[in-house]
């Protein structure tokens, strides 16, 4: 069942999204060579709990961490660890916040130190594709319009769009219906209606679209070991223009 949100519920998700955006900003300020991914996870959890929230991911289906931290060829669901970031890495940080009974979810991929130009371009174009997808999240459009906008943009750059992982509805549950693929056909799929809250999250690989799940049952990496990028916002479908509830504002301030 697809659950459309009232304006009151959207305000509760917006409150979660603000804490989430600020937590991302805290993490962004720590992204540098020599920092462990575990330290990023600990700071995010501390900030979220200090602001009255809970990390959405911690305990989800047995996941033990507050962040999914996915460096380089890891697409998503990477475990925080004692791995130290080094120059040339790119690292995706995915986070969710539960506050007042409602979740928000967002992700951002960071360059660390001196990163190869073709990898920086992957990050730039993946982020751009997120906003192209969001532009299609308006009432009357179809889910395929959204997926097509993302797929068309990134495949023109020669990148691979992951098929096995998709965005999702979000609200009182972290993952709700409908699924939000990052590929599709224009005019196909679910007709979008006002009040639908979606986590839109392009996952785009520098090389092949093919991915492999590691033996830990969580970590997803590219089959060819080339880098991947992941950007995500929580968005409300509106009549004329989608409304973005999460924000990269705090990230961008921290990176200045």
Annotated binding-site ranges for substrate: 77, 175
Q: What span, in angstroms and rounded, lies between the C-alpha atoms of 142 and 162?
A: 20
Q: What span, in angstroms and rounded, lies between the C-alpha atoms of 210 and 198?
A: 25
Residues annotated as binding site? 77, 94, 105, 168, 175, 201, 232
Specify whether the CB–CB gap between 229 and 74 falls below 8 A.
no
Residues annotated as binding site for a divalent metal cation? 94, 105, 168, 201, 232
């Amino acid at each position: 069942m697809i659950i459309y949100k009232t304006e009151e519920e959207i305000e509760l998700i917006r409150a979660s999204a603000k804490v989430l955006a600020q937590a991302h900003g805290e993490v962004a300020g720590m992204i540098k060579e020599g920092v462990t991914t575990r330290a990023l996870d600990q700071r995010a959890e501390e900030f979220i709990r200090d602001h009255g929230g809970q990390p959405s991911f911690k305990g989800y289906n047995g996941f033990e961490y507050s962040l999914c931290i996915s460096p380089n060829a890891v697409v998503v669901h990477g475990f925080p660890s004692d791995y130290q970031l080094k120059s040339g890495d790119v690292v995706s940080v995915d986070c969710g916040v539960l506050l007042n009974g409602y979740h928000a979810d967002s992700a951002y991929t960071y360059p660390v130190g001196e990163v190869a130009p073709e990898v920086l371009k992957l990050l730039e174009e993946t982020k751009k594709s997120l906003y192209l997808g969001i532009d299609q999240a308006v009432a009357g459009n179809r889910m395929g319009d959204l997926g097509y906008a993302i797929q068309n943009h990134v495949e023109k750059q020669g990148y691979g769009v992951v098929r096995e992982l998709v965005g999702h509805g979000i609200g009182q549950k972290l993952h709700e219906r409908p699924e939000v693929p990052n590929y599709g056909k224009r005019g196909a799929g679910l007709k979008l209606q006002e009040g639908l809250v979606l986590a839109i999250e392009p996952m785009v690989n520098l090389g092949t679209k093919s991915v492999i799940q590691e033996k830990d049952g969580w970590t997803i990496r590219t089959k060819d070991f080339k880098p991947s990028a992941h950007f995500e916002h929580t968005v409300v479908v509106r009549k004329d223009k989608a409304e973005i509830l999460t924000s990269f504002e705090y990230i961008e301030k921290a990176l200045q």
